[in-house]
Chain A
Amino acid sequence: MDVVSLSRWQFGITTVYHFLMVPLTIGLGLTVAYFQTRWYRSGEDAYLRLTKFFGKLFLINFAMGVVTGIVQEFQFGMNWANYSRFVGDVFGAPLAMEALVAFFLESTFLGLWIFGWDRLSPRLHLATIWAAAIGATLSAYFIVAANSWMQHPVGAIYNAQTGRAEMVDVWAVLTNSTTLAAYPHVIAGSLLTAAVFVGGISAWLLMRDRPMPDADRTALHKAVRTSIYLTFAMGIAVAVSGDYQAKLMFEQQPMKMAAAEALCETEQPAGLSVFAVGNVSAECDVRTIVVPRLLSFMATGTFDGKVEGVKDINAQYREKFGPGDYRPNLVITYWSFRAMIGFGAIASFGAVVAWWKTRKGRQLPTGKRWLRIGSIAIIATPFLANSFGWIFTEMGRQPWVVAPNPKGIPELRLMTANASSPAVSSAMVWTTLIGFTLLYGALMVVELFLLRRYVAAGPEGVMPHTTPTDPGSDGGGDGESDAPAPTTDDQEADVLAFAY
């Protein structure tokens, strides 16, 4: 394989892997912050248990997200040097802002949260989890803004002398209509991911045939209810924001959407393909179960709007940008779009089942094996939906790395084939591709092993074991005096509430 293909594989593997952790970090961070807020307000033990339990799972996941994030930032320069030179003036800014505004906030306050249980007042400690969760949520904005610029370049001009893009309006870059549409979609997807994660795990624990402390049962039941409502709300939010995004994409990247629908010829009105049988990329009549006029409505808002097909757009691009094939991989674009929507729908369906089973305060049944398996299996669906969403939008942008904006400056475009690093040989990319893939694979096994272990133990497994001879340690939160010469009597009180 050539350097470009290898670099694309590496980017894809790193990004999909990284984005398994990111949505859970964002969504679960906010969810844990919510649980802790409930505990802070009401003092209910159930919410403390949920905070500690899901907080622990959050941290196991977070560690992996952080370390793969470094690769994510470095690989632009490592594998895509020509891309970095072309876009750096525009694209580097949101990345630097992400680190300065969001990552510091997230990392510093998360450290304070993890280790601060006995060092900070409850109020301040609550504030730290919110700061960390907001930092994570904010970070997504900047990276989505950077990505959106590749989908729909705005706020920049092309300097013919240097052959580079130059930013002229940072506000336009940060408020790119593509960003404003994609960001809510990403955040809603993240919350959906966390909701299904929380609900699936809680339901599984409740349905196990195993004795469980009543306190855990109460807490997990609350978690299931929270998850159901959050899944409903976010399922709707994902669909609405996705629909809005699709409409925008028909304008901004007509080729991607035509490919997503395997719409070869321009149609008016155009029907929506639910399914295709046969070779999507070669044939045009493989679309089956076509819902008449629906695609027109989704793309244009009217039932008789014209939707351009892949062949026609390709011909227009040839005229504009010279000879070449400007079609993305149709099979991947078509099917990943459907996989994204399908898995998202299954995730929401799980909440409907859970709602039915817990309606009017009912307890989840313990004897039903398929329900238990289903509640664990469904956790995978939002992750799959997230991955296919990114695969769709990145693969659908090909062969461009910076797709030309139909209403913008046509020179602001770059083919993926011209974006790689001249200094890097294919042997070098093979080395890192194999190295990273093996490392990610091994670490994924470890992460799942740990998650499984901590999940199986339930909230009780992470609650601090209070020693019976420990009456004096309820004060907490002072940490003022440096206590130079501690006597042996108050040693217990010195033990850290949390330590690695």
Chain B
Amino acid sequence: MELSTFWFLLIGVLWTGYFFLEGFDFGVGMLLHPLGRTETDRRILINTIGPVWDGNEVWLLTAGGATFAAFPNWYATLFSGFYLALFLILVALILRGVAFEYRGKVDSDSWRRRWDLAIAFGSWVPSVLWGVAFANIVAGVPINANGDFTGTLLTLLNPFGLLGGVVTASLFLLHGLHFVALKTEGEIHERAKAMSLRVAPVTIVAGAVFLIWNQLERGEAWTWIPVLTAAVALVASVLATRAGRDGAAFAATGLAIAAAVLALFGSLFPDVMPSTTDPAFSLTVENASSTPYTLRIMTWVAVIMTPVVLCYQAWSYWVFRKRIGSRHIPPVQVPGTAPSAGPA
């Protein structure tokens, strides 16, 4: 296999890792209001991802950095082309990250309410926009002979792109619900399961229409396999939720995410960013990639470091594997207020 092809796959793997991991923590953020009826509920939700969300977000930095290193032209065209969409994503990620850390630092309802809004905004916006972005990458956008995007933000908001946004948002929401079901106990656990059964049909229909649409327009024969896998996985996640198998339901939505990314990347190859202006202007695995030397160096780095990262990240999930419920949440302790007596 050509190294550039290998790197195309690896970029796909990095985005899969990002969507799998940050997908559920986006989901938890989106669920803060619908699932979190009380302050304790919301703290349970945030604490399910508290120790891990930042590590999850590094997958995005890695995907971005790896694209820069392995496909500089892709990185340049994509990031300058999807400029305002990425700006919105960045604002959302900034607010969200700060909100997790700051919301509990002052004991005031209005303070927490504002940061809760920041978390919800910061989780919904990227969840929708990543789908819009990837749908447009796959479908192609106007790109000129210099490799520069010639559209606007509105170019991206076409039906296929918007459907992509619905798919990622509903998929991350479902993935988040399964994560919450897996990581919590008590009433919130039950609510997450019930809501999962209501959200799943939306995810399944949107996902199916989107992937089949993509498949009919530009799919390869073999990409039917990931499309079907995604469909089966989503249905299986519903059955698993019904059967009370929280872990299986979570794994199933995770598999659906991976299969969807594979289907999209499979239909994209050998382009990395097709041009709708003229196919000759399309960025491909070949014309967008770095030199074989750089790819070889980066291959060594990735082959050595990725397993190490996966090991310690998996370990961190193992450390925090316990379910949490209201009995685990300590009383608020911030300076400036007398320590509240707590539940006891």
Chain A interfacial positions (CB closer than 8 Å to B): 59-60, 62-64, 66-71, 73-74, 76-79, 81-82, 84-85, 87-93, 95-101, 103-105, 107-112, 114-116, 119-120, 164, 166-168, 170, 421-424, 428, 431-432, 435-436, 439, 443, 446, 450, 453-454, 456-457, 461-462, 464-465, 467, 469, 479, 482, 486, 491-492, 494-500
Once the chains bind, are B290 and A92 in contact (CB under 8 Å)?
yes
Once the chains bind, are A111 and B52 in contact (CB under 8 Å)?
yes
Once the chains bind, are A500 and B61 in contact (CB under 8 Å)?
no
Once the chains bind, are A423 and B65 in contact (CB under 8 Å)?
no
Q: Which residues of A have CB within 8 Å of B81?
A: 423
Supply 5 A–B pairs (Cβ within 8 Å), ascending by A: A59-B101, A70-B90, A89-B294, A423-B150, A497-B330
Shortest Cβ distance from B101 into A: residue: A63
Task: Count chain B CB atoms within 10 A of each CB in A74, A422, A457, A482 and give the residue with the most.
Answer: A74
Which B133-147 residues sit within 8 Å CB-CB of chain A? 146-147
Shortest Cβ distance from B52 into A: residue: A111
Shortest Cβ distance from A83 into B: residue: B76
Which B53-88 residues sit within 8 Å CB-CB of chain A? 53-55, 57-58, 60-62, 64-73, 75-81, 83-84, 86-87
Once the chains bind, are B102 and A81 in contact (CB under 8 Å)?
no
Complex formed: what's the CA distance from A261 to B313 in Å? 49
Once the chains bind, are A167 and B291 in contact (CB under 8 Å)?
yes
Q: Which of A70, A424, A443, A462 has a CB less than 8 Å from the CB of B335?
A: A462
Which B274-322 residues sit within 8 Å CB-CB of chain A? 290-291, 293-294, 297-298, 301-302, 305-306, 309, 312-313, 316, 319-322
| Interface residues in B, total, Cβ within 8 A | 85
Q: Which residues of A have CB within 8 Å of B309?
A: 100, 104, 108
Shortest Cβ distance from A496 into B: residue: B328
Q: Which residues of B have CB within 8 Å of A422?
A: 80, 146, 148
Once the chains bind, are A486 and B297 in contact (CB under 8 Å)?
no
Complex formed: what's the CA distance from A6 to B50 in Å? 37
Q: Which residues of B have CB within 8 Å of A68?
A: 94
Complex formed: what's the CA distance from A465 to B179 in Å? 32
Q: Which residues of B have CB within 8 Å of A107?
A: 54-55, 57-58
Chain B interfacial positions (CB closer than 8 Å to A): 43, 46-47, 50-55, 57-58, 60-62, 64-73, 75-81, 83-84, 86-87, 90-91, 93-95, 97-98, 100-106, 146-150, 290-291, 293-294, 297-298, 301-302, 305-306, 309, 312-313, 316, 319-324, 327-330, 333-336, 339, 342, 344
Given contacts A84-B76, A491-B327, A103 and B294 within 8 Å (CB-CB): no
- Nearest 4 Cβ contacts at the A-B interface: A88-B72, A77-B79, A457-B335, A92-B69
Q: Which residues of A have CB within 8 Å of B71?
A: 88
Once the chains bind, are A486 and B76 in contact (CB under 8 Å)?
no
Once the chains bind, are A95 and B94 in contact (CB under 8 Å)?
no
Once the chains bind, are B293 and A167 in contact (CB under 8 Å)?
yes
Q: Which residues of B have CB within 8 Å of A168?
A: 293
Q: Which residues of A have CB within 8 Å of B335?
A: 453-454, 456-457, 461-462
Once the chains bind, are A435 and B87 in contact (CB under 8 Å)?
yes
Once the chains bind, are A76 and B68 in contact (CB under 8 Å)?
yes
Complex formed: what's the CA distance from A428 to B139 in Å? 24
* A94: min CB distance to chain B, Å: 8
Q: Which of B72, B87, B290 has a CB less than 8 Å from the CB of A432?
A: B87
Q: Which residues of B have CB within 8 Å of A469?
A: 344
Shortest Cβ distance from A499 into B: residue: B47
Once the chains bind, are B104 and A95 in contact (CB under 8 Å)?
no
Once the chains bind, are B69 and A88 in contact (CB under 8 Å)?
yes
Complex formed: what's the CA distance from A453 to B53 in Å? 26
Q: Which residues of B have CB within 8 Å of A424?
A: 80, 83
Shortest Cβ distance from A421 into B: residue: B80
Task: Count chain B CB atoms within 10 A of each CB in A60, A81, A84 and give the residue with the most.
Answer: A81
Once the chains bind, are A73 and B64 in contact (CB under 8 Å)?
yes
Given contacts A70-B61, A107-B58, A482-B322, A78 and B83 within 8 Å (CB-CB): yes
Given contacts A93-B69, A443-B94, A450-B102, A431 and B87 within 8 Å (CB-CB): yes
Q: Which residues of A have CB within 8 Å of B83?
A: 78, 421, 423-424, 428, 432
Once the chains bind, are A499 and B50 in contact (CB under 8 Å)?
yes
Complex formed: what's the CA distance from A422 to B328 in Å? 53
Once the chains bind, are B306 and A100 in contact (CB under 8 Å)?
yes
Q: Which of A112, A439, A491 has a CB less than 8 Å from the CB of B51?
A: A112
Q: Which residues of A have CB within 8 Å of B55?
A: 104, 107-108, 111
Q: A421-B80, A499-B330 are in contact. List 10 more A-B contacts (CB 8 A).
A: A66-B97, A85-B73, A89-B291, A96-B65, A97-B65, A115-B320, A432-B83, A446-B98, A464-B333, A496-B324
* A227: min CB distance to chain B, Å: 22
* B340: min CB distance to chain A, Å: 10
Complex formed: what's the CA distance from A497 to B322 in Å? 14
Shortest Cβ distance from B47 into A: residue: A499
Complex formed: what's the CA distance from A62 to B100 in Å? 12
Given contacts A110-B54, A499-B43, A428 and B149 within 8 Å (CB-CB): no
Complex formed: what's the CA distance from A27 to B150 in Å? 44
Q: Which residues of B have CB within 8 Å of A71?
A: 90, 94
Given contacts A88-B75, A423-B149, A500-B47, A96 and B319 within 8 Å (CB-CB): no
Once the chains bind, are A67 and B97 in contact (CB under 8 Å)?
yes
Q: Which residues of A have CB within 8 Å of B290?
A: 88-89, 92, 167
Complex formed: what's the CA distance from A135 to B303 in Å? 19
Q: Which residues of A have CB within 8 Å of B87?
A: 78, 431-432, 435
Once the chains bind, are A95 and B101 in contact (CB under 8 Å)?
no
Complex formed: what's the CA distance from A78 to B88 in Å? 12
Complex formed: what's the CA distance from A348 to B344 in Å? 50
Once the chains bind, are A93 and B297 in contact (CB under 8 Å)?
yes
Once the chains bind, are A108 and B313 in contact (CB under 8 Å)?
yes
Shortest Cβ distance from B81 into A: residue: A423
Once the chains bind, are B51 and A111 in contact (CB under 8 Å)?
yes
Q: Which residues of A have CB within 8 Å of B333?
A: 464-465
* B105: min CB distance to chain A, Å: 5
* B309: min CB distance to chain A, Å: 5
Q: Which of A116, A423, A492 has a CB less than 8 Å from the CB of B344?
A: A492
Once the chains bind, are B293 and A166 in contact (CB under 8 Å)?
yes
* A445: min CB distance to chain B, Å: 12
Q: Which residues of B have CB within 8 Å of A498?
A: 330
Given contacts A66-B97, A467-B342, A500 and B91 within 8 Å (CB-CB): no
* A323: min CB distance to chain B, Å: 26
Once the chains bind, are B316 and A111 in contact (CB under 8 Å)?
yes
Q: Which of A60, A69, A73, A90 has a CB less than 8 Å from the CB of B105?
A: A60
* B227: min CB distance to chain A, Å: 30
Q: Which of B65, B72, B148 has a CB less than 8 Å from the CB of A99?
A: B65
Q: Which of B47, B67, B76, B150 has a CB less than 8 Å from the CB of A496?
A: B47
Complex formed: what's the CA distance from A81 to B66 in Å? 16
Once the chains bind, are B319 and A100 in contact (CB under 8 Å)?
no
Q: Which residues of B have CB within 8 Å of A465?
A: 333, 339
Q: Which residues of A have CB within 8 Å of B298?
A: 93, 96
Once the chains bind, are B54 and A423 in contact (CB under 8 Å)?
no
Once the chains bind, are A494 and B97 in contact (CB under 8 Å)?
no
Complex formed: what's the CA distance from A95 to B294 in Å? 13
* B240: min CB distance to chain A, Å: 20
